[in-house]
Amino acid sequence: MGARPGPPIERDFRNALERGEVGLLSVVDQLLGPKPSLKIGATTITAYRGVHEVLASTLDLAARAAADEKSWNATYNKLAVELSRAKIVVNYQLVRGQISRDIATLLNDVLNAIDSAMRNKQRDQVRERAERGRVLIDALTVLIYRAKK
């Protein structure tokens, strides 16, 4: 997954997802800061809560499954189904106008990073990206709740 042009927060988000390190801390600080440069738009708390629930369970499953070879082999197919389901939920809420394009893009980036690592049989990358993705979607939750209050 190569870096695409976009606002700095989106670029930083993708880099943190891919590489982690201090970039993850920086992005969380940006999202939790007083003036994040991310467009929340018409994103509703209810829609994001539902999307977050599906993504969080998928990312948690990915991190647990990829932690060891035995779990990975037993869970790989289930994870592929859950990842597909999560992609559908994100895009369904986008076309319904319940989450903004900016939010949907970032959520899809998380899912695509996991998908790419799975297709390339990079179990460690699946785990690392799932763990970082979970942190990032949780930070987005705070941002959205704060913006909608």
Q: How many other CB atoms are found less than 10 A from the CB of residue 112?
A: 16
Give the tokens for residue 90.
């994100």
Cβ-in-10-Å burial (0-12, 13-18, 19+) of 116 comes to: middle
89 — phi, psi (to 5°)? -60, -45
| Sign, CA torsion 136/142/146/149 | positive
Place of tokens 């670029």: 11
Residues 6+ apart with CB under 8 A from 139: 27, 28, 31, 32
Alpha helices in 3-122 (DSSP H): 8-19, 21-32, 45-65, 69-95, 101-119
pTM comes to 0.90
Cα 65 off chain centre by:
17
Give the pLDDT of the chain (149 residues) as one tens digit per residue.
444 445 688 888 999 998 887 789 999 998 998 887 788 988 999 999 999 999 999 999 999 999 999 989 899 999 999 999 999 999 999 999 999 999 999 999 999 999 999 999 999 999 999 999 999 999 999 999 998 87
